[in-house]
Structure 1
Amino acid sequence: MFYSVRGKLIHMDSSTAVVECGGVGYNCQTTMNTLKNLRLGDEVTLYTYLNVREDAMELFGFSAKTELETFKTLIGVSGVGPKAGLAILSELSPEQVAMAIATDDIKTITRAQGVGKKIAQRIVLELKDKLAKSLSSEDTSLPSASAAANAAMGNIPKAIEALGVLGYSPADVSGILATMDSALPVEQLIAHTLRQMGRQ
């Protein structure tokens, strides 16, 4: 329903940002990472997600599209609600989330407040399974080359796998990654790609 809200930031606390648009203040629940990018009184844009429940309507806002997309991916996992999604993205950046899932790093995900080992395991299992299914049906993926060819591509295959966890297909990201130095650390490749995707 809401793609984004733009206006003056009139209030902030530890978990919310209120943006005034046309005389209406929109109370957006958000992450610590987004709050770090905001300053009271500034004109801001938050990319939003509206969560409708039987007893409430909750608006979530993020300073970057990639953070919003990662949030939606996380809450798509069974048993992971908006509160856990915000907690994870308050502790980790989208690229750190992608790396943790792609490398089965459950411990990193449990650094988020209130996120235990079982929830972290479910996030990794469900999203890696989703990735495997999407790759098996992806006709425009990178050519399935030999191990030697993959090695020549450096960290790009790992970055493609990690970005796949966040819902980006190889076709979405391979063109962007092809312009980068394949020797860069995987997390850096992911971060650069997400920034480019956010500008499109």
Structure 2
Amino acid sequence: MISYIEGKILNKFEKSVIVENNGIGYELFISASNLEKAANGSKVSLYTKAYLREEQIVIYGFQSIEELGFFKVLLSVPGVGPKTAMELMGVELNKLKGAILHSDLAMLTKIPGIGKKTAERIILELKGKLEILAPGTPYSKENESEVEDEIIEAITRLGYQRNHVNKVLKNIPKNIKNAEEIIKYFLQNV
């Protein structure tokens, strides 16, 4: 499984780029916002998620582990597949999270391929998760067990087994202080 790639952009298409790495060109589908920043000949470093679609492997690329993690969260919504999730990822991540947290149907339905029902389903499924995953959530001794339980609950909702989550989280370095950093650590060490 390819989970990370560094290379040079050879070609840029409507929704994808070809990244050359050691003489091999990989087609990676990236969000519209990342595609705007991409230029032929520029170097890129992308986290990836591969899917088997029909008889073809499709690879999606993300500039950060946070983007990849949120892509996986979007896929947990019934009816949201990789293509729809990539359309959503075309919006700046904090704006997208804000739209979900504030139930902004108008903003979500402006995204290509997102109708009212899909937007409502995304809000319904993710609003509670995002409140748990909100950046900057303090992780202090006063509320450690409550926050820890919320983090474990959020990660298990992504499909990970509770005992596996607990095992990885036991090894968290002391300098990791908030929920967002803890979840990033987990996704990097799975």
Root mean square deviation, CA, Å: 3.4
Q: TM-score if structure 1 supplies the norm length?
A: 0.65
- Residues 37 and 63, structure 1, Cα contact 8 Å, conserved in 2: no
Residues 21-60 of structure 1: matches in 2 within 5 Å? 21-60=21-60
1:100 maps to which residue? 99
Flag structure 2 segments of 5+ consecutive residues without an equivalent: 134-143, 149-153, 159-168
| CA distance in 2 between partners of 1:84 and 1:42 (Å) | 27
Q: Give the percent of matched residue pairs that are identical in Structure 1 and Structure 2.
A: 32
SS in 2 for 1:26: strand
Which letter maps to 2:114? V
Aligned residues: 154
2:114 maps to which residue? 115
SS in 1 for 2:97: helix
2:18 maps to which residue? 18
- 1:115, CA displacement in angstroms? 0.7
Flag structure 1 segments of 5+ consecutive residues without an equivalent: 143-162, 178-192
2:165 maps to which residue? none
Residues 1-200 of structure 1: matches in 2 within 5 Å? 1-90=1-90, 92-130=91-129, 139-141=145-147, 175=177
Distance 1:175 1:113, change over 3 A: same
- Residues 7 and 19, structure 2, Cα contact 8 Å, conserved in 1: yes
| CA distance in 1 between partners of 2:70 and 2:52 (Å) | 19
- 1:7, CA displacement in angstroms? 0.8
| CA distance in 1 between partners of 2:92 and 2:47 (Å) | 16
Q: TM-score if structure 2 supplies the norm length?
A: 0.68
| CA distance in 2 between partners of 1:70 and 1:80 (Å) | 13
| CA distance in 1 between partners of 2:51 and 2:106 (Å) | 28
